[in-house]
Structure formats: C-alpha cells, structure tokens
Chains A and B, each alone.
Chain A
Amino acid sequence: MSPKQKRLIFGVLAVLLAVVIAVLYRRYVWNSPDATLSWTRGATTYVLRSPRLLGLLLVAPVFLLILPRSLADLPWQQQMLSLGLRLAFVAALALALSRVARTERAEHVYTVFLVDVSDSVSPESIAEATRSLKQFLGARRKDDRTRVITFARRPRLVEMDEMATEPPVLARHDADATTHFGAGTNLQAALQLAYGLFPPGYLRHAVLFSDGVETDGDLLAEANRAEKLGVKLFTVPYRGAIPGEVAIQRMRLPDHVKVGEAFEIHADVYASRAGQAKALLYQGEALNGLDGARTLTLVPGVNDVVFKSVVRVGGEVTYRLELAPLGEDKFQENNRVAETIDVPGRPSVLYVEGEPTRASPLASGLDRQGFDVDVRAPSSFPGSLRELERYDFLIVSDVPAEQISLSSQELIESYLRELGGGFLFAGGPNGYGPGGWYHTTIERILPVRMDAERRKDMPSVAMSLAIDRSGSMTGLPMEMAKQAARATVDALSADDLIEVIAFDSTPTRYVKMQPARNRSRIENDIARIQAGGGTEIFPALDAAYQDLSVVQARKKHVILLTDGRASSSGIRDLVQAMAAESITVTTVGLGAEVDDQLLSLIKDFGGGRYHKVPDPGSLPKIFTREAEMIAKSSVTLDYFPMKQVAPADFLRGIDVATAPLLSGYTATKMKAWPAQEILVNADHDDPLLARWRVGLGYALAWTSDVKARWAGDLARWSGWPQFWGQLVHEHMRQKRRSELPMKTDVFGGTAHAVVDAFDADDRFDNNLESKLTVQGPLPGGASTTVMLRQTAPGRYEASFPLDRYGSFVLRAEHRRHTEDDRVVPVAVSYGHVSNPYPPEYASFEPNLGLLSRAAETTGGARDPEPAAAFDPAGASVTFHQDLWPRFVGAAIVLLVLDLLVRRVRLFDRKFLPKTRTA
C-alpha cells in the first residue's frame, strides 16, 4: 500500500470515526433530557453523572490522522497496537471525567435523634431521653452514623461526633419570656431539619423523643413527606412523671346568650394530679354574680367545671377565669383564661336633653317600648365615634348650639353616614334657631331649614330692655349698657318692637314700645339715660310685663341688666306670670356684686338665659346675640293639632288625628326632596316631623319639644310611647336586622372565620362586601379589619394571625352594592376567639395517638428497641460509587503499556523484508 493510499484510508477512517462519535454524542448525550446517563448490566446500574465530558472522545480521530504520517520505526502491528492503547487511554480518561459510577446497595443506617426540650417537657423526661439515647447509641452498628437535634419551637443541631457512643448534653432552648423559644413545640420543623442531614448511601432513620404535644406545624402531614423521602420515623413518648400542674385548657361559653337568661359556662381544667384550686370567675371587672368564687376539687385529667351566670346588660361581656392552685403548679401562664361574648341587648337610645330633669316623659315612654335609654346632659355627650357606636338611636333635645361642640356635631354626622345610626333633633326654647343652630352642621344634616319665613300678620319680636341705671353703673358700665341697647336695636328687624326701661328705684321708659325702624329716635332716647340712684328690679320687670302683655308679637322677650343686689320679693310670681304669657326673660349680671341666685331664678322661671359678665365691654356682644337669637327664632307658642301628610310605616296603628294638641313649635322650612314631611302643624302647615336619609342612617327633625313644656298633653296621651317607640324602631341603626352565623377556630396561631350567607329563599347570598373587625385582646385591645373573601356560593372566609394572647371579639358587617350604586348593610355576624396563652402550657399528657400514627405512616414504630433504630429491616439503599479513580488507574496502566509497545519491538523481530506488490 502506497503512503498516499495509506493516508487516504486513515483519513477516511478518521472522518468516519469523528462522524460516528459526534452523532452518538449528540443523540445520546447532548440532546438527552436527563442530566445523567445510565444503563443496567446484570444487577448493576452504571451511570455517567457528567456525560457531556464524553465529548473528549472527539480527539480520537486526531490519533488516526497522524498515524499514516508516522516516522516511528515500528512494525505496523505495533503501530496499530499503540493506536489502540492510546485510544483506550483517552477513553479511560473521558469516562473518568464523565464521572462514571455504579449503583451499590448498602445497609448502613444514618439515624437522627430528635429530642423535644420544650417547656412542657419536665427535666425528668429530658434525663430519661438522655438515658434512652445512650442505649440507642450503644446499639449502633459499626458503619452506622448518628446525629442529634434538640427542638422546641425551632430545632437545633447538637455538635457531636457521628460515631459517638455517649449522648451529648441535651440543653433546653432559650426560655426567654419575650422570645418564647421554649414555649412551643414544632415537630415538623425538627423533622425537616433532619432531612438535610442524611448523606447519600445511608438508610434514613429518625427517632423522635417527645410528648407529642405540638403547638406549631403538623407532624402527620410531614410524616407523609418523610415516607416519600425514605425517612423511617420511630417515636419514643416521654412517660416520666408529669409534675404537678393545673391548667385551664378552655372556657366554653354558649354561642348565643340573652340578656337576663341564666346560662352555663364550662371550663376544662386540667390537673396532672388530684388536688384543689381556688377559682375566681369575673364578669367584666367584677366577680360573677351568680357563681364567682369557688374551691375546686380536681381529679387527674381534664375536669369539666361549670359556672352559672347571667348577663343583665347587653353588649360585649368578658369573662375571666383565674385559678389559684392550692398545690404544686409548674406554669402560671395557664391559670388564667378570658373569653368575650357579644350579648345582644335591647336597642339602646342616647337621649341628650338640655334639661335632663324634664326627660322622663320620653325616656319612660321608650323604656316601655323595650329600649334601653341613656339620658345625658349635653356636657356628657360621647367624645368618640366608638362610644357613640354603642347606641342605635340618638336624640338631641332642646340643647343650645354652644353646648354641643363642633367636633360632637361632626361625630353625629359620621354616626349617621358611616354607622347608619338614627338621629332625632327635637325642639324647644333652645332648639333650632332659638338655640343658635342656624348655619351649623346639625342644620345641614336635618331635613328642615331654620331660616323660616316670618309670618306677616304680626311682628316677630317684641323686646323690652330693662337696664339698671343705679349709681354703681356710672361711667364705663353705663356707656357700655347704652351701646348694648343701641346694638340691640340694630340687630332687630324694622317691624320688631322694642322698648328701653332704665331703672333705679323706679323704672323710667326712655324708649317706649315702638317698631325698631325708628332707629335714630330710639338711639337719641337711649343717649339720654343717666346713672344715679338705687336698684329695684321688680318695678322694672313689672313695667316690661305690662308693656309686653298688650302687644302682638310671636316672641316677647325681656333682657334685664343689673350690677347690684335688689329685693327679690314678688319677682318669682311676676316671672311665672310672664312665662304664662310666653314672655321670656334673660338676665345679665354685671360685676361681682350681682345676686346670682336671684338672676338665676329669673332665668329659670323666665325660660331665658343668665349671662354673668365681669367686663362691661362685652355687654354689646351679649345683647346683640340675644337679639339675634330671639329675632331669628320663630318659636310659635300656640295650641295646634298635628296632621299626617305622608305615609310612614311607623305610624301604623297610631291615629295622630286623635292626638292631643301641642302648645309650641319652632317654625322651619322643608328642604327639597328627598326630605320627607310626615307631620305638620294642622293650622299653619309648618313642618312638625320630617325625615331623610343621611348616608346609611336617618335624620329626623321634630320641631316641637318632647317634654312637658310644649308636649305636655301629648305626653299624657296613650299613644305617646307607641308613637316614639315605633319611630325609633323604624329609624334606628339596623345592626341587628339580620344575623349570619359565624364559625371560628384557631389553629397554629391563626384564626379562621367562616360565614355562610343564605337569603330569605334559602338560596346562597353572593357578592356581599364583608368586613371583619377583630378587636382584642380584651379589654381595650386594638381593632384591626380584614376582608372576608367569598370562597364558595354563599360562603365567606377570612384568616388572620393572632400574634397576641387573650380574648378577641369578631364582628362582621355584610353590605351590598345596590343598583343605584349605594352600599346598604345587609347583615352582621358575631363571633369570638381566644388565644389565652402559648398552647405549650395547655397539655402535658403524651399524645400517644399522634406519635403512633406518625411512626406507622413512615413504616416505623412507636417505642422501638434500641437496635431497631439501626436495623435496616431488610431494606437497603442504593448509592453511586464513583468509578473514576479506577479509570485513572487503568489509564496509568495503559500509559505504561503504550510505552512498552513503543520501546520494545514485539513484532517482526527478525526484520523480515516487506513484501512488495508487483
């Protein structure tokens, strides 16, 4: 064969070899979906763990290409042999680099011991675990390995030699009260940490020493995964003597408690041994009335302790049970439990009355209709929406505007708009315009305006100013009094009547009763007033009374200004007579020497106000305000019947036509639709009762009063309680319109609430917007809000973490968007959950069932013999035994052989001549 032919043949062979290797490599290695390649031969499986490095074989054709150009002085047989050896050498290295391995079976066991050192485990039990661990380690076979993990809330790997025969020190975890690391047991986390310790090539065993009381995680669920991961679990329950312990595991209250109805409270009290304990049950802050203190005789195990109780007033009621064990008790945390329930009480009404002593007609009427009525003076108005939320209906009656602050007025608006409360604004001498409510928040939310037009047939106001001109008034007081009188004239309308009487021991009419339009003449007359003389009030008041009693006006008012003391003789009778003719009297006391008692008496009987003024400079302001208040008021004191002008459900069964007459009201004007006029003054068609919606709630305006002053006859009417009862019922906050049952539970520190909603036809109620308010821990805990998510037709669910210990009340508001884009309340749900203390302190008996089931699920067993923890029980594990060192060793041999072939002539030792072809 010529060299050229030789090169050609070897070249072709090299190309063929390259193509074959490339195709096989691409097909079986490069495009393989698996990261490894494996094949089985006999009972052995071989695997290439980095098969891509087999690509080194692609250098093999290079050796072929070079061979025909060889200058080596070797017979062709030896050259071919050398080529084979060199290819084998490269193949051996390629296989080594591709990490050829074979699966081997082994029966070595790697056992991880998991030792519970949580707070619920006694020192005796830990000592028992140490002794037991020593026995287990003593049963370890030569090739087996072990590790130890201790755990409470979290697991920790204990430093020790894998071949140790002595157990390590089993220390408790941090029992710091703030971190509560020891106050929990997470068996699942311990097992998961163990998974990361098992090396390849070992059977995986875990031995769990525990009481099986888990507070976090789920061992059974993890047991499934352990079995899947090939971990066989053995469990060794702690059986050491349980220390003396008394614990309240749970307090059970009925789901529904009614006011006034006795019920039972059950408490599950665990005792590790027989003994006694003193139990105190609190309802709120006071001992439970029916059954508050008791000495319990406890038997080992769970004792069902029953208390009787009754709730007298609706609302949130917190029960707290405290135990004082009379014997050994290891943990104090579990001796106290609180539960709160929401007891639906009677609907509650807050009645804010300007004259609380006169509140009884309405308060007693509502009480008879089944309402809890809380009568308060304006000064006790609730300071927060939260406090106002407790009430279903709010009545503000005959209260001057200055006694209800702006912030309180805004609270009322929020109460209506956001909470859906009902609000009735009742009149009286201090209601509406006379009370200074004009242009206030209250006027804005009421369905009537307070700037009612005056009636044309008579002057609105007739006012008499009785000004003390005694000697003590000389100087600035007198000048300021005159300025106040002039300001009063300016404040009145042209048709209003005014007179000015200056008095010392006798009264003098400086300005006779005349229309206020004669301003310049009146002011000139006022300027003539001179100080001097004593002080006698009676004659001045009498003169004013005489003058006012003969004039026609809707409002007759006297302002009495004095700076000294005078005889009170006859004044009381005089003022009463004036009041009988609807003449009101306001008194102004200037300086410190005034007779407060007398002026207050005049005010009380005169139905006006008493202003005590230390500085004469403020007199004009006071007079002006009085004038405006009187002038703008449109109180009508006249007997009139009421008339129904629009249908209203709450008037069903009530014949208002037969109701007694009212004797006064404040004229107002209806606002535009949707304000609705229900009742009117039958004589003048002025609004008497009107209503409209404000946000979610109702605002009602009652322009007469709700007490004996103007509604005295009506209050004696048999329909009075029913009228107000039905009115309040229809317009009060509808928080209990419908109640959907709520189910709650707590697991692993997370509370879960479920509400099932059905409509009236027992169909699923969908698309509710449900908001859950969680308040706690009670008393006084913060409120958080979570949304209930609809998870199925008619089903709404929410989960939230309970990161504090105590009792929590849950309140869900269910609302719906209407077609006209309003949000209306549909129903409410109530529930309560309790997370009294770390569950670690709740149970001390070993949970044998859990430990057995978990072990059985993985193929292990409870209470194994020490040898069982290392017994492969016929099982074996396959693992990869790396073969690459063998291939490197083979390569060394091949290297030497190749050298031998090169250095020693093995063929053609006699140098036979080459045969030539012809």
Chain B
Amino acid sequence: MHFYGLPGSTLIAIGAAGAVAIVSLYVLKLRRRPVPVPFVRIWQRILREKEATSLFSQLKRLLSLLVQLALLALLVLALGDPRGFASNKARNVVVLVDASASMKAVDVASALNPNYARIDAAKDEVKRLVRGLGGSDRMLIAQMDAGVTPLSTMTGEVADLDQAVSLVRATDSRADFPRALRFAADVLLGLSSPEIVIVSDGNLGEPRDAAGEVHLGQVAVSFVPIGKGGRNIAITGFSVRRYPLDRDRYEVMLDLYNASKEPEEIELNLLGDGNFVDVTKLKLNPGERLPRFYPNLSGARRTLEATIKPVSGGHDDLPADDHAYALLPDQRRIRVLCVTRGNTYLEASLLLTTYLDVTYVAPSDYPVKAQSFDVTIFDDVTPPVAEGSGSVFYLDPSGESSPVKVDPAPLVNVGFDTLDKKSPFLRWTAVDDVYVGRAHRLIPEPGDKVIGASEKGALLLTGRRAGRRFLALGFNPKDSDFVLRIAWPLFVLNVLTEFVAEDPSYLSSFRTGEVWHVAVPTLSDEVWLSAPGAPSPKRVPVQDGRAVYLGLDAGFYTLEAGPRGAAVKSEFAANLADADESAIEPVAALTVDGKTTGAVEGFHVGVRSEWWIALLLLAVAITTVEWATYHRRITV
C-alpha cells in the first residue's frame, strides 16, 4: 500500500493528537444534573439497578470511545490517500474514442433522452472503463477523428480521466483509424501490459494507410461496440461549377445515399442564397446511391445549400449528413485594355458580354500607369508590352515589338485553308470561308502553335513570350468579312475567356477531415478563419499563398486576409461528403493487424484505488449509527 496524501509523520501526529483529545474527553466525567426525586423507594431502586449494571456501563463507555477512535482513524487514514500495491501487471491502456460523424447518430436515444447520441454512449462506456481500472493501471484517453487528440496524460487519476472524457466531442469528419492506432502504439511503446481499447461504432475502415498496414506487435486490442441501428439517408456529394463559357450559369451535382436496409422516401430541397431553388420528393432503394444534376441554373450569387429529410413515416438516425453546403466561385469581371485608334467592330463585340471591364486608350496613351489588366488588345498597333498588361491579343501585328516575325509582303485574297478546329479560340465558330482581302504571313517560332493558316502561310497563331500568353491575327479584321459574321464576337469572347480561365483547382466545397489549402485572396500572411459555430476567428498559417487548416466541421467558413479592420474576406464551404461515414450500421467486431478484436476484459467497476472514498463513506455510516446509539444511550 502507498500513501499519496499527507506524509506519514503528519498523519501520525494528527492521529495522535486526535486520539489524545478523544481519550481525554472520555476521561472527563460529565457532570450530571441533580434531579430531586421525592419518592425514596424509587430512588433506592434506581441505585440498586445502577450497581447491577455498572459493568455494562463501563463496557458502553469503552465501546463509545472505540467508535470515536475508529472514526478518527478512518479520517486520518483517508487523509493519507492510500492506494493499492503497485503491480508488475499494471496495465497501460490507451482508449481511442471514435469522434467521427457517425457517432452523432441518435439510434441509441430513448424516449426520455431523445438527444442521446452514440458519442454520449461512448463517453458513458469510457467512464465505466475508468471506474474499472485496477489499482496500478494507467489510462490515456484520446479522441479519434480526422486526427488524434490525447485528452489526458497516461494517468491513474480518475478525476483527470473523467475530465478528459467530458472533453470528447463528435466532429463532422471521418476517423483516421490507422493514424490513431499508430499514435496508440507510439504511446504504449515500452510500457507494461499495453492495451488499446477502441470505443466506436466500428465504421473505421481498414487499418491501413500510405505507409501500409498498422502492426501493433504484442499490444492487446479490444473493442467496445456502440450503436444499434443503421437507418440513415445522406447527402454524400454536393458541388457546383460555373460553365467555362457561360459564367452566369452553373451546374450542381448532388449525390444521395440511402444507407438503410429499407427503402426511404425523402424530400430534397435545394436553396440558393437562402431561397428555394428546387424541392423534389424521391424514393431511394436500400443501399442506392443516386447522383442528381441540376444543369443550367442561374440566380444564386454565392451560397448553395441542400437539405434532405424523410417524408412522413421515414426515419433518419444521423441528421449530420442531411445538410450540405457549397459556394459558387466569384464571378470576377475581366479587365480588358483595348489599345486602338477606334474600331467599331471590336468595340461592338466587347459590348456583347456583361462581365467585361473595358478600358479604351489611344496608342499614344499606352501604357496606362498604376493599373493592371487581364487582357490587352492591340488593334493594329504593336507597342512594347508593359507590365500589368496580362495576356495580349494582337490584331495585325507588325514591327519590332511583334511577338512573331511578320512577312512584310502582303497576302492578297486569302482565307483559312487549314484550321485547328479543336482550338478553344475557335469554339463554335465557322471561319473556313472567311475572305481576307489583305493579310500578312506570320512566321512562328518553335513552341508556337498555328491555329489557322492559308496555303501561303500562318494567319492565326498563339504562343507564350516572357511568360505571357498571346494570340496574333495576321490581318486587320476590317480588311476581311470576318467582322460581318456571327463568328467574330464569338471569336473575341473565346479569346478573352481562354486567357482568363476559371481557376481549375477551384473547389465549391472542401471535405471535412482533410487538410485544406484555401487560396488567400491577398498576399498577406495574416489570415483569420471563422469556423461555423466558433465564437471568434482564429489565426491560421499560410503556405504558398494558401491557408492551411485541418477542418472537422461542415458549414460555411469565412477567411479574412490582411490586418484586422482592413482584411479582405472570402468564404468557402465544407461538407462531410463521405458515404462510408454515412453507412452507420454498427460493426460487431474489428480486425486489426490480422486479429479480430475481443471484448474488453479486466475492468471491474468498484471504488478502485481511491480508498479514501470508501473510508469517508464508512465514516458517514458510522457517525449516523453512532448518533442514534448515543441519543438512545446505547453508547455514551
């Protein structure tokens, strides 16, 4: 036995002092109250009875003293916080509590506690394990979600472990089972009787990651299964993309999943900027995954949300995957600089689209200082390209600043004899029979791509100079019937959209449980992230212009880049979007390292090593009994 409380000498001193005091008080004789009794015989009889019971009175007095001393001993002993003997067989246990999204399922709820979820049941199970720890056993409690978070040290302190259990919180992510197992193995390395207890519904996947299968050696693994139902409908995919050319419109993809064993009827709502876009009733067969597409949508500017709910009679144990979020990419206007002496056809084509910011300047006013553009159009002029000009579209280039050599000898009455019809610059155009009165042959350099050519030479080519993309048309459109065709504005539109393509890596929503690399709208390294439901934004690190964050919760996030107060805000969304996590049917047994995990053993609920609790409880019981006996004069 060990004492973890006051030192032994102090305990002895307290005990001795208390004992002396108690014995001294018992040595004192209580001064009895004189009671005049008028009837002598009665008094004589009392005195006779007193003689007869004097021995018993002595015994009662002694017993009373012993009771008081026992009480004192119990209390002094409790102050010493005695524990059981340390054992070589003391176990070291890592409890991995599954905090993945499926643990939010309420299949374990009752009528009395309708919000009782699997995570609550898991916490109760862990508390039982804590109560059942042996005298020298130690335990570490860790939350297992997309990461692994130890919530306590490896300790035998029940209070600390209880506190750790209270910190467990279910997230909207899947559990990284291999990572958690590797962590547990690291913790248990070199410790006696190592053991891992997994408290989970068992939807953890294979214990294998990029480094291969997890091997645990001699570490015992046991499993506490949680959950009893598996009825769930889910949104397992939700995304939106703008069309590359028609940026006003977008397409939405939804992936629905019925993880139940029964068919489910659901109501699907699609909202754009908070307004209903579509309401549909669907029937999903057991195990069915149904992708749905909403093409050619318009109206919403930023946010999209989808919700599903069972229609009357339906049932859903996991509401966490019934809501999904997405954000449309910013519809940024293209900044176009048009360097021209005046070109009605060009100006007219640039008026046909709404998302252009066009600045016209005369050749003498180029470059435009302190401004930057996405695309610059040089109409019949070829000045040196200034910084901030973006990609460049040349109409009939010439001179030394031309990106390609131009044959000064004019070509007369030519057309496009060969065309790269797959080129994005020529999408939806018919230019085979364009008549060009006067043109100049463009001489491509290695790496340039000829898109259109007459028999006499290239007329339309593209390439890259000094990192800047360009497109050169070897004639002035006004010298052809090109400008009279519907193909002309389409061609100009193609050029602009191809030069300013949507970021192909744009994601309308991130997946929870993954490390997100979110594009930061400014060059600032000071980035603050507001998570859904979080009381205040928190600063996140930036790497290569992207904020790095391991997201665990679904919803809309706000990113603020730059100094507080002058920050540029951007938003993004995150979803669970994980069919495996939505399949919430509990698993009865797990297989880890080729072995099927067993049930937990050796955890016996009791007062465990904290004997002071038992001592105090005993003291309360004794003092209650002693109170009764004293006042009924059984003890004195």
Residue numbers of A with Cβ under 8 A of B are 34-36, 49-50, 56, 59, 62-63, 66-67, 69-73, 86, 89-90, 93-94, 96-97, 99, 153-157, 159, 184, 189, 192-193, 195-200, 216, 218, 220-225, 227-229, 748-750, 756, 758, 762-764, 766-767, 790-795, 801-803, 849-850, 853-854, 856-857, 880, 882, 884-885, 888-889, 891-892, 895-896, 899-900, 902-905, 908-909, 911
Contact = CB atoms under 8 A, between A and B. Distances in A.
B241 A885 contact: no
Contacts of B538: 224, 227-228
B293 A766 contact: yes
Nearest to A794: B241
Contact of A902 (B71, B79, B293, B630): B630
Interface in B114-149: 140, 142, 147-149
Given A93-B616, A885-B6, A193 B186 contact: yes
Interface string B1-17: 00001100000001000
Nearest to B552: A225
B159 interface: yes
Interface string B578-590: 0000000000000
A791 B538 CA distance: 29
Contact of A189 (B165, B186, B212): B186
A193 B72 contact: no
B251 interface: yes
Contact of B616 (A67, A748, A888): A888
A853 B33 contact: no
Nearest to A743: B504
A96 B149 CA distance: 32
Contact of B549 (A67, A99, A224, A909): A224
B504 A756 contact: yes
A388 B14 CA distance: 94
Contact of A90 (B30, B209, B548, B620): B620
Contact of B541 (A71, A72, A749, A854): A854
A715 B627 CA distance: 125
Contacts of A63: 624, 627
Contacts of A911: 33-34
Interface in B17-33: 18, 21-22, 25-26, 28, 30-33
A59 B617 CA distance: 12
Most buried by B among A49, A197, A200, A909: A200
Given A62-B628, A200-B163, A792-B239, 12 more contacts: A50-B159, A66-B631, A71-B631, A89-B623, A97-B616, A157-B190, A199-B153, A766-B293, A793-B295, A895-B18, A899-B21, A903-B25
B153 A889 contact: no
A895 B68 contact: yes
A767 B291 contact: yes
Contacts of A193: 183, 186-187
Nearest to A99: B159
A637 B183 CA distance: 82
A192 B150 contact: yes
Given A35-B166, A189-B183, A903-B25, A221 B31 contact: no
Nearest to A184: B211
A900 B540 contact: no
Contacts of A762: 243-245, 427
B253 A790 contact: yes
A73 B30 contact: yes
Contacts of A885: 5-6, 79, 81
A749 B212 CA distance: 10
Interface in B190-219: 190, 209-212
Contact of A904 (B28, B240, B243, B627): B28
A442 to B, nearest CB: 39
A195 B140 CA distance: 11
Contacts of A224: 538, 540-541, 548-550
B111 to A, nearest CB: 17
Nearest to B509: A792
Contact of A895 (B75, B525, B624): B75
Contacts of A750: 210
A402 B128 CA distance: 77
A35 B34 CA distance: 56
Most buried by B among A184, A895, A905: A895
19 contacts: A49-B159, A59-B624, A71-B632, A73-B32, A157-B189, A159-B190, A196-B142, A196-B153, A199-B153, A220-B541, A222-B147, A790-B291, A792-B241, A793-B239, A880-B159, A888-B75, A895-B72, A896-B22, A904-B30
Interface in B564-614: 612-613
B160 interface: yes
A97 B617 contact: yes
Most buried by B among A56, A218, A221: A221
Given A72-B630, A195-B149, A903-B30, A803 B154 contact: no
A97 B619 CA distance: 11
A210 to B, nearest CB: 16
Contact of A73 (B33, B76, B210, B427): B33
B162 interface: yes
A225 B173 CA distance: 15
Contacts of A884: 612
Interface in B463-511: 504, 507-508
B252 interface: yes
A220 B544 CA distance: 12
Contacts of A228: 538
Contacts of A59: 620, 624
A764 B504 CA distance: 13
B620 A72 contact: no
Contacts of B515: 218, 221
B541 A899 contact: no
A836 to B, nearest CB: 16
Given A73-B32, A791-B239, A793-B239, A856 B541 contact: yes
A815 B154 CA distance: 54
B237 interface: yes
Nearest to A802: B210
A223 B541 contact: yes
Contacts of B541: 220, 223-224, 853-854, 856-857
A229 B153 CA distance: 13
A889 B142 contact: no
Nearest to A887: B616
A192 B624 CA distance: 50
A857 B540 contact: yes
Most buried by A among B79, B427, B508: B79
B182 interface: yes
A56 B613 CA distance: 12
Contact of A196 (B147, B150, B525): B150
A99 B632 CA distance: 34
A225 B631 contact: no
A756 B538 CA distance: 34
A884 B632 CA distance: 32
B282 interface: no
Given A62-B624, A224-B540, A899-B25, A793 B18 contact: no
B275 interface: no
A902 B626 CA distance: 13
Contact of A198 (B14, B153, B630): B153
Contacts of A795: 239, 241
Nearest to B238: A792
A223 B539 CA distance: 11
B187 A49 contact: no
